Amino acid sequence: MYLTKEQEAMLSGEKGETMAKCIQLTVKIGEIYDAKNLIPIKSAQIAGVSYYTVGDAIFSFFKLLSEGNVKVRVPSWLNPAGMDTEKWKEMCIDADFADKQFQIIQKYRSIGVETTLTCTPYLIGHKPSYGDHLAWSESSAVTMANSFFGARTNREGGPSSLAAAIVGYTANYGMHLTINRQPTILVNVKADITSLSDFSALGYWYGENYQSKIPYFTKISGLDVDHAKMLSSAMASSGSVPLFHIQGLTPEANNIDLAEVDEKVSFTNDDLKQIYEHFNQSIKNPELVAIGCPHASFDDIKTINKLLKNRNLLDEVEFWIFSSRKVANEEKAKSIVLNLESKGIRVYTDTCMVVSPAVRNRFNNILTNSAKAAFYLIKGEKTNVNFLSLEEIMELVTN
Amino acid sequence: MRNVSIRAIVEGQVEGQAIVSLTPISFLGGVNPKTGVITDPENILYGKSISNKIFVFPEGIGSTVGSYVIYGLKINGVAPLAMVANQAETIVIAGAILANIPFVDHPDVDITKVIVSGDNIKIDTINKIIKIKRD
């Protein structure tokens, strides 16, 4: 692999052992995938934040970082933590967990990472630009960055995105190269998809059937950033799809060479129905509604408020919306959040149903409009999940 | 004795006893970073320790946080002597580099079929081979 003089110096330990380790990691991964060189990145999205998922293993790694006295060299943001950093007691998180969680967040802050604690950096002003090279490690955000924004990032892991942030470079392979961004599956979307959960179902169906292959979807009308994030997150969890194209909509769709497509498939109303049925565990007594996977936007919160109208939440049901602190604290969101909370709907930030122990430890019967959330929650031994549209959920849990 | 050619990812000359997982390994949730014991009940090695042995497995899977688990094994003094996989992927590569644990992949045969737990094996990343000795 070709390295610049600066990169050679980093690798040889001139900038310290920690820096050498970080660039060694970047270079080795590049070598495995036949990268010719390293490329500068514009930003990094770093996973590996929730104490629930990283456990104590991360602290030994932090020691290495402290010894090296390193800082990130590009704008870097954090994935969600295991709890709301203000309302953790209300979520029934114990003090030991909170203490560990705060230590992790503080450590990332100390090396210059902005503690955004969201999987949707693009909803809080960190939108990547067309052609930007990134090292993002939240799988749903990776697919959004590549597909919706036309930026370029591989599905980095937590450690590799952090190393890239410290080094300022990532290896030039995979999604960074135009040749790898061509679709190989053409999907004729025949089903009537309208709601957020329909887009989530389409993504789930695609990822489950075609793993990491890049799809080209024929015309899907009315796709906005929120639909795209549902589609992205689902196909990046049932499969490992890093990029999709939609005819006439996504930024690279016009540069596509459809000659490389080697399979043409259809997504029908029957396929859509089957995905809903797959997660339909016919819960009679839902305990929790969990919305916000990926994190809810201002529009998502507004929609829930609108659907609620003058109705009230059933006493026996908890209703949690997960969002980013920045979105929930925005001036325009404040009165809506207050109204929702007055009706018993809780808006939690910094965390979500997938990475917080508060959900799986306390609730066995969960309703969600996200196929990604359903996919992960159902892995809990006692957890039953129903995957429904927001409209259906609101009908079920209000009167 | 049998020789298998390999690709070196993290260099090292190591000799030791092999412990073989027949199925892909998720370090997060699958290995206890404090003890080196396999905690995945679905794994054939459930309850056994990979500490101070040469850990052989087809490939790494699961959360990328698994890299931190590998690093934790090293810090806690219970790391494997070396690791051998059929195919390296970013989780194990990152963990092996951070922890400086010799790691090789791309054997010319399915490595989980030619090495059995208990075999004495020698990894030589200079000559890019593994020597398998069976008593």
Tell me the per-residue pLDDT of A54-65, one tens digit each, with 9 for 90 and over.
888 888 889 888
Q: Label residue A255 by pLDDT band (50, 70, 90).
A: confident
pLDDT at B70 over 90: yes
Between CA B22 and CA A399 the distance in angstroms is 54
With beta carbons under 8 A apart, name residues in chain A contacting B93.
Answer: 25, 28-29, 32
Say which residues have a Cβ less than 8 Å from residue A86's Cβ, sequence separation at least 6: A349
Q: How many CB atoms lie within 10 A of CB A226?
A: 19
Mark whether A89 and A110 lie in a shared domain.
yes
Mark whether A31 and A149 lie in a shared domain.
yes
pLDDT at A259 over 90: no
Are A191 and A202 in contact, with CB atoms under 8 Å apart? yes
Are A373 and A197 in contact, with CB atoms under 8 Å apart? no
Mark whether A126 and A206 lie in a shared domain.
no
Nearest CA of chain A to the CA of B135: how many Å? 35
Mark whether A341 and A264 lie in a shared domain.
no
Range with the lowest mean pLDDT among A162-166, A205-209, B63-67? B63-67
Say if residue A253 is exposed, middle or buried (CB neighbours under 10 Å; 0-12, 13-18, 19+): middle
CA distances from A203 to A71, A198, A244 (A): 36, 9, 10
Q: Side chain identity at A118, as an amino acid letter?
A: T
Say if residue A379 is exposed, middle or buried (CB neighbours under 10 Å; 0-12, 13-18, 19+): exposed
Nearest CA of chain B to the CA of A12: how many Å? 15
Mean pLDDT, chain A, integer: 95
Q: Label residue A206 by pLDDT band (50, 70, 90).
A: very high
Q: Side chain identity at B52, as an amino acid letter?
A: N
Tell me the per-residue pLDDT of A11-45, one tens digit each, with 9 for 90 and over.
999 999 999 999 999 999 999 899 999 999 999 99
How many residues comprise chain A?
A: 399
pLDDT at A260 over 90: no
Between CA B102 and CA B90 the distance in angstroms is 15
Between CA A106 and CA A85 the distance in angstroms is 12
Q: What is the pLDDT of residue A284?
A: 79
Give me the mean pLDDT over the A68-95 stretch: 96
Q: Is B65 on the interface with A (CB under 8 A)?
A: yes
Between CA A43 and CA A142 the distance in angstroms is 12
Dihedrals φ, ψ of A45, to 5°?
-110, 120
Q: Closest chain B residue to A17 measured between Cα atoms?
A: B98
Domain total of chain A: 3
Q: What is the pLDDT of residue B134?
A: 81
With beta carbons under 8 A apart, name residues in chain B contacting A25.
Answer: 93-94, 97-98
Residue A249 is part of a domain; what is its CATH number?
A: 3.40.1060.10
Mark whether A172 and A194 lie in a shared domain.
no
Mark whether A32 and A154 lie in a shared domain.
yes
Mark whether A83 and A141 lie in a shared domain.
yes
Mark whether A306 and A245 lie in a shared domain.
no
pLDDT at B90 over 90: no
Q: What is the pLDDT of residue A300?
A: 98
Between CA A124 and CA B79 the distance in angstroms is 41
Q: Which domain holds residue A317?
A: 279-397
Residues of B assigned a catalytic role: 63
Between CA B124 and CA A179 the distance in angstroms is 36
**Among A247, A277, A307, which residue terminates a domain?**
A277
Tell me the per-residue pLDDT of A47-56, one tens digit each, with 9 for 90 and over.
999 999 888 8
Give me the mean pLDDT over the A316-326 stretch: 98
Are A136 and A153 in contact, with CB atoms under 8 Å apart? yes
Nearest CA of chain A to the CA of B10: how many Å? 9
Give me the mean pLDDT over the A219-226 stretch: 89
Between CA A372 and CA A140 the distance in angstroms is 9
**Among A255, A277, A299, which residue terminates a domain?**
A277
Say if residue A241 is exposed, middle or buried (CB neighbours under 10 Å; 0-12, 13-18, 19+): buried
pLDDT at B19 over 90: yes
Mark whether A271 and A198 lie in a shared domain.
yes
Mark whether A361 and A233 lie in a shared domain.
no
Torsion, Cα B30 B62 A202 A374, to 10 degrees, reads 30
Domain total of chain B: 1
Are B62 and B68 in contact, with CB atoms under 8 Å apart? no
A287's tokens: 């305990």
Dihedrals φ, ψ of B125, to 5°?
-85, -10
Give me the mean pLDDT over the B75-89 stretch: 95
Q: Which residues of A lie inside 8 Å of B (Cβ-Cβ)?
A: 21, 24-25, 28-29, 32, 47-48, 53-58, 60-61, 63-64, 137, 156-160, 163
Tell me the per-residue pLDDT of A118-156, one tens digit each, with 9 for 90 and over.
999 999 999 999 999 999 999 999 999 999 999 999 999
Q: Which domain holds residue B33?
A: 2-133
CA distances from B81 to A159, A234, B17, B102, B103 (A): 22, 38, 9, 7, 9
**Nearest CB to B72 within list A25, A60, A158:** A60
DSSP single-letter state for residue A121: G
DSSP single-letter state for residue A374: H
Please name the helix (run of DSSP H) or strand (run of DSSP E) that holds residue A78, with its range, or none: strand A76-78
Q: What is the pLDDT of residue A309?
A: 87
Q: What is the pLDDT of residue A53?
A: 87
Q: What is the pLDDT of residue A249?
A: 93
Say if residue A159 is exposed, middle or buried (CB neighbours under 10 Å; 0-12, 13-18, 19+): buried
Residue B36 is part of a domain; what is its CATH number?
A: 3.50.30.10
Tell me the per-residue pLDDT of A346-387, one tens digit each, with 9 for 90 and over.
999 999 999 999 998 899 999 999 999 999 898 777 889 999
Mark whether A174 and A273 lie in a shared domain.
no
Q: What is the pLDDT of residue A398?
A: 96
Q: What is the pLDDT of residue A125?
A: 97
Residue A68 is part of a domain; what is its CATH number?
A: 3.30.499
Mark whether A202 and A259 lie in a shared domain.
yes
**Among A162, A178, A194, which residue terminates a domain?**
A178
